[in-house]
Each structure stands twice: as C-alpha cells, then as structure tokens.
C-alpha cells in the first residue's frame, strides 16, 4: 500500500532523514523515536508538504513523490497532524464536513461518516455549533482525528494523536483505531506513548537520528531491551 | 460580547444625532462611506484569504475606470451596464498579474510580497499614464446628476446606488463564503492554509481564483463611480489607503465591519468638510478616527 524507498530529506543543508525505507501494508504500523528523530518530517514528506532530496514514495503502486498535498489526500491518505491544523473560526460541524467535502469519494458518505465519528467521540456531537478555536486542547485533538476519519481514507496517518488526551479517551480512541484497522484501513502512527501504541500496531519501526534502528512485530518490540530502557522506562 | 453591543449602540446613537443635527453630512457621508466600503471589500478578501496586502488595489480600480471610459467613449456603452464587460477583463488582468508576479514570491517573506504589489502598482500607474496620458477624463450621463430633496436638503440621488451596491456585494460575498464549496474552501484557506491542504483543498488554485475574482469585483465600484469622478492615472492610490484603513478598523475577517467602518469614516469626513474653512482636514480626521479605533481595540485586548 505505502512504500517508501531510500528516502533522504534535508532542511536546507541539514539532513534529517537518511536513506530511509519503510512499508505499510494492510496493517497498523508504528513509528517510534525520540524528539527530533524525524518522524514528523517523514510524515510531512509523505503528504507532499516537504520535497525529499532523493528517494521515492509509492502509494497503491503509484509514485506519489512530489505530488501536491491535496493530490495525495485525494488518493486516500488522511493525516491527523501533530499541530492539529483545524479551522478555528469554523464550527465543529463545519470542520468535520471539511474533512470530506473536498475528497470526491468521501463527499457522498458524509452523513454516515459523521455518525461514525460521533460513536468514537460523542463529545463532538454535543459541540456541533461550537467554534473549533474555543475548544480545549484535548477536544481539538479529537476533532482533528474526527476530521481525518471523515475522509474515508485507505491509509490513516496519525502524528502523536494521544498528546493532551486523558488516559480513558486514549484507551477508547486506540480501541476504535483497532476497529478502523479491522475495517481495512491501514494505519501509520507515531506515538510518544509507546506502551499504548504497541497495543494497536501490528508492526513497528524505531527511528533515531533519521535512520531506522529497529524493525519488528509489536510483540517482539515490547521485549526489546533497547525499547524497554529508552521508551518504556522499565 | 456585551462591550461590542455597547459599542454598536453608541455608534447607532451617534448616527441618529448626526442625522438630526447635520442631515447633509449624514447622507453625503453615508454615500461616500458606502463607496469606500464597496472598494475595500475586495482588498479585505485578498488580505483575509491570500494573506496579501495588495498595494496595487486602487490601481485596478483606475484600470476599470479607463476601460469603462473607452467603452463609453468609443461604443457609447452605458457606464453601469459596462460592468459586465469590465469585470471579465479585470479578471483576466488580475489573473495575469497574479500568475506572473505575486505567485512567484508567495512563499517568501511578507516584505517581499508587499514590495511586489508596490511594484505592480507603480507599473500599472505608469502604464496607464503612457497609454492614456495624465489628462483627466470624464463620463457624463444625465441620470447621474439628478438630486432629490430629503429632510429639507438637496442631495445626489445617484449616489444612493453606492449604498445599495455595498450592501448587495457584502451579502453576496458572505453568502458565497458560507454556502458554496468554493467559499468554504476559501474561508478554510484564509484561516489555515496547511490545514486546508490536508483536507484536500488545492490552496494554490484558491489563491489564484480569489485574487482574480476580487480584482474582477472592482468592476462594480469602477462602473458606479465612473459618471461621478474625473478619471486620471493616480486616482487609485488614496483608495488603496482608505481600503486598508477600513479593513484594519473592522479587524481581519470582519466583512460587515467594513461597511460599518466605511460609513463611520465617511460621515466623520463629511462633517469636517461641512465646516467652512476646515474641509482640508478631512483626511486627517479619517486617519485620526482610524488610529483611535485601533488604539481602543488594542487597549481592550490588553485588558483581557
Ligand atoms: N522547518 C524546519 N526547518 C529546519 N529544521 C527542522 C524543521 N522542522 C524540523 N526540523 C528539524 O528536523 C529534525 C526532525 O524534526 P521532526 O519534527 O521531524 O522530529 P519528530 O521526530 O517529529 O520529533 P517530535 O517527537 O518532537 O515530534 C529536528 O532536529 C528538527 O529540529
Ligand atoms: Mg513530531
């Protein structure tokens, strides 16, 4: 489904991703790593917001390297960005609708999708006419996830979706992600909360200084000494 | 919210007082202010959606006026009807200007953007100057010079079209922004271009269309004011300034506020002009009121 081959990315002269290759099939894949490892950079590059200096990105067998963001999104990749990137002056309802309105295959399932989002985040239903900019950080995070789900994506990319959410909602959201994954949506997830993240994913990569240092199944990752020490704090 | 309400009440009361004490200044100011708003609305759209302060704004108005003048002079076109020809021509010119200059520097520093529109402004003025010389041009139609009696004063009837047009244009813009897919996309882009791209909006296209459409909208003000102004190459500059003032006074993204600010400033200006010997002070009052309002708002923001 998603295949990244020998990707290198630099900001000006500073290279942050080094000859990196990963694949995401019909599965949930985790991307773990310390702050500044290059996770967000990699994701922004998949979405066409940054141009790589070399390497290629394929989606459904098609080379999407260098496509504009809106083109990538219309192919079926939805993003929950680390910075949420909502529309603060629009209501919750308008924000949700914006997730589907510009994607032809999502537009005609708008009502169904919205109800689906409400089953995951019931609080959004109660806030339909609230302006997104006036919501709390956690509520905005839920809205950002909801907006991405509105796009009926084939691949859902979440950049640290649990930041700022209360533990019960994180558990709930990850349970729902598992459900979404069962319905055939591939997932690529970065997470500081490695313990929770490992429960959702089938397979994971650990990325440090722009390179993959470990790749394994999620059960195996949980046993890794390096991961235990550096990310799980045990 | 309550404070804003009080401000509006205060504003309305002031209007009533002015209307009673100086009816001429009230109506004349209402007309002028509406015209200023009509001209300012496209500038506010470009500023709010593209994030660009277009210093060439008024020069597109000048261009529209000259196009209208030619249509009138050569083909005896009615000034108001010529709107339907001026608009598409301005759209194409706006599109060409945007694609050839502004889009190229859109990603760079704000100052570069400002500089390039300044450059466009100078280029347009010089182009107009060499095409049509600096000789003032006038368009006469009889219906534009009629006046009516209102509350014992005589006032131009034609200029009430400015009031109607500014309200109509405002309503149409708001409706398009709220109810059409393009409008919602433009609204989204104005708030967060990154977020807009993430939901599948072609941000570049929205910028291009917004700039060109806003430029085409200048046809409305150009057509309407055509019979009431002397057309000359530097006509646009002061209108750029005033449009920016109205937008700043209303606050970014507040389109109805532009109409309100326009009328306030128009009336303030008209009052000063009606005092014998002080008419030259009207610009000072215009900018004085602007500074007061912005200072007031900044102060109120700081209190929160
Ligand atoms: N716009 C930018 N310009 C220059 N350097 C950047 C830019 N964005 C990120 N970087 C640098 O690239 C590196 C990777 O950043 P990135 O945001 O991808 O890390 P991350 O793995 O997502 O970290 P975090 O877990 O903190 O979100 C960092 O060293 C960062 O300083
Ligand atoms: Mg990050």
Could you tell me how many CB contacts below 8 A there are between chain A and chain B?
Answer: 63
Contacts of A74 in chain B (CB under 8 A): 200
Provide residues with CB under 6 Å of ligand 1: A 11, 16, 33, 35-41, 82
- In angstroms, the CA B267 to CA B162 distance is 14
Q: Is the pLDDT of residue B285 over 80?
A: no
Short-list A60, A47, A59, CA closest to A9: A47
User: Mean of the pLDDT values across residues B252-262?
Assistant: 89
Question: Cβ–Cβ of A102/B197 closer than 8 Å?
Answer: no
| Length of chain A, in residues | 234
Supply A104's token pair.
């032809």
pLDDT at B301: 61
Q: Is residue A38 within 8 Å of residue A49, measured between CB atoms?
A: no
Listed residue (B264, B147, B157, B169) closest to B222, CA to CA = B169
Distance from CA of A124 to the nearest CA of B (A): 18
- pLDDT (tens digit, 9 = 90+) per residue, A50-91? 999 999 999 999 999 999 999 999 999 999 999 999 999 999
Contact B199 A89 (CB under 8 A): no
The closest CB to that of A99, out of B192, B194, B199, belongs to: B199
Burial of A192 (0-12, 13-18, 19+ CB in 10 A): middle
Tell me, rounded to whole angstroms, the distance of Cα A100 from its chain centroid. Answer: 17
The residue contributing the CA closest to ligand 1 atom 13 is A36
Alpha-carbon span B83 to B106, nearest angstrom: 30
Residues of B in contact with A103 (CB under 8 A): 199-200
Q: Say which residue, B15 or A198, is predicted with more confidence.
A: A198
Annotate B240-255 with DSSP letters as a single string.
Answer: HHHHHHHHHHH-TT-H
For residue B49, which of B247, B242, B252 has the smallest C-alpha distance? B252
Atom of ligand 1 nearest to the CA of A12: 4
Contact between chains at A87 and B191 (C-beta distance less than 8 A): yes
DSSP letters of A116-170?
HHHHH-HHHHHTTTSBGGGS-HHHHHHHHHHHHHTT--SEEEEESTTTT--HHHH
Res. B1: pLDDT tops 60: no
A105 burial class (0-12, 13-18, 19+ CB within 10 angstroms)?
middle
Sequence-distant (6+) residues with CB within 8 A of A136 are none
Checking if the pLDDT of B3 tops 60, the result is no
On the CB side of B222, how many CA atoms lie within 13 Å of its CA? 36
> Nearest CA to B139 among B264, B236, B225, B43?
B225
| In the block, residue with structure tokens 């009807």 | B81
- Using 50, 70 and 90 to split pLDDT, how confident is the model at B212? very high
Confidence of residue B232 (pLDDT cuts 50, 70, 90): very high
Average pLDDT over residues B278-289: 79
With 0-12 / 13-18 / 19 or more C-beta atoms within 10 angstroms meaning exposed / middle / buried, residue B117 is buried
Chain mean pLDDT for chain B:
90
B274 touches B22 (CB < 8 A):
yes
Mutate to test the interface with A, among B195, B201, B204 (most CBs of A within 10 A): B195
- Is the pLDDT at A148 greater than 90? The verdict is yes
Residue B271 structure tokens: 């009052």
Q: Is the per-residue pLDDT at B19 higher than 80? A: no
- Cross-chain CB nearest to B194 (options A68, A85, A147): A85
Ligand nearest the Cα atom of residue A206: 1
To the nearest 10°, report the CA torsion of B282, B287, B289, B291. Answer: -160
- What residues contact residue B275 under an 8 Å CB cut-off, 6+ apart? none
End-to-end CA distance of chain A: 35
List all residues 6 or more positions away from B244 whose beta carbon is below 8 Å from its beta carbon. B40, B43, B53
Tell me if B198 and A81 make a contact (CB, 8 A cut-off).
yes
Among the atoms of ligand 1, which is closest to the Cα of residue A43? Answer: 18
Contact indicator for B151, B23 with CB cutoff of 8 Å: yes
Task: Look up the ipTM and state it.
Answer: 0.93
Span A98-136, pLDDT tens digits: 999 999 999 999 999 999 999 888 999 999 999 999 999
Whether residue B10 is predicted with pLDDT greater than 80 in this model: the reply is: no
Neighbours of ion ligand 2 (CB under 5 A): A 39-40, 82
Domains in chain B with CATH codes: 23-292 (1.10.3470)
At A151-197, the pLDDT tens digits run: 999 999 999 998 888 888 888 888 888 988 988 899 999 998 888 88
């Amino acid at each position: 489904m998603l295949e990244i081959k020998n990707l290198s990315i630099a900001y000006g002269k500073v290279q942050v991703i080094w000859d990196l290759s990963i694949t995401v099939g019909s599965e949930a894949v985790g991307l773990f790593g310390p702050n500044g490892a290059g996770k967000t950079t990699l994701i922004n590059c998949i979405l066409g917001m940054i141009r790589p200096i070399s390497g290629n990105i394929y989606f459904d067998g098609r080379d999407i390297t260098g496509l504009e963001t809106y083109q990538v999104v219309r192919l079926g990749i939805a993003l929950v960005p680390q910075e949420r990137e909502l529309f603060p002056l629009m209501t919750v309802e308008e924000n949700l609708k914006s997730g589907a309105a510009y994607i032809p295959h999502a537009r005609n399932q708008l009502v169904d999708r919205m109800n689906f989002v409400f089953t995951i985040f019931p609080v959004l239903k109660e806030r339909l006419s609230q302006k997104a900019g006036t919501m709390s950080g956690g509520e905005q995070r839920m809205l950002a996830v909801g907006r991405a789900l509105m796009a009926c994506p084939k691949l859902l990319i979440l950049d640290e979706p649990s930041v700022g959410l209360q533990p019960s909602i994180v558990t709930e959201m990850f349970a729902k992600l598992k459900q979404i994954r069962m319905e055939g949506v591939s997932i690529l997830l970065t997470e500081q909360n490695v313990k929770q993240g490992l429960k959702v994913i089938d397979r994971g990569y650990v990325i440090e200084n722009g390179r993959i240092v470990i790749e394994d199944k999620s059960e195996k990752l949980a046993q890794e000494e390096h991961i235990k020490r550096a990310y799980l704090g045990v | 919210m309550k404070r804003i309400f009080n401000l509006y009440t205060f504003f309305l009361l002031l209007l009533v007082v002015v209307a009673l004490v100086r009816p001429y200044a009230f109506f004349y100011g209402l007309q002028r202010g509406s015209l200023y708003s009509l001209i300012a609305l496209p500038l506010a759209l470009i500023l709010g959606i593209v994030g660009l302060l277009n210093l060439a704004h008024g020069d597109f108005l000048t261009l529209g006026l000259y196009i209208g003048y030619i249509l009138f002079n050569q083909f005896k076109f009615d000034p108001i009807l010529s709107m339907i020809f001026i608009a598409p021509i301005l759209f194409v010119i706006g599109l060409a200007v945007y694609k050839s200059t502004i889009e190229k520097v859109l990603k760079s520093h704000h100052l570069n953007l400002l500089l390039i529109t300044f450059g466009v402004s100078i280029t347009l003025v010089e182009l107009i100057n060499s095409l049509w010389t600096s000789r003032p041009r006038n368009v006469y139609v009889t219906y534009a010079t009629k006046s009516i009696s209102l509350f014992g004063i005589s006032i131009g009837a034609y200029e009430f079209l400015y009031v109607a047009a500014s309200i109509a244009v405002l309503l149409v813009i708001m409706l398009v922004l709220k109810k059409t897919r393009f409008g919602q996309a433009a609204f989204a882009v104005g708030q967060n271009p990154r977020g807009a791209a993430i939901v599948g909006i072609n941000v570049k296209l929205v910028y291009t269309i917004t700039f060109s459409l806003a430029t085409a909208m200048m046809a409305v003000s150009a057509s309407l004011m055509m019979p009431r102004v002397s057309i000359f190459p530097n006509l646009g500059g002061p209108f750029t300034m005033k449009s920016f003032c109205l937008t700043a006074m209303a606050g970014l993204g507040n389109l109805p506020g532009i109409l309100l600010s326009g009328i306030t400033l128009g009336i303030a200006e008209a009052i000063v002009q009606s005092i014998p010997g002080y008419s030259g002070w009207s610009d000072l009052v215009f900018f004085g009121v602007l500074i007061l309002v912005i200072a007031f708002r900044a102060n109120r923001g700081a209190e929160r």
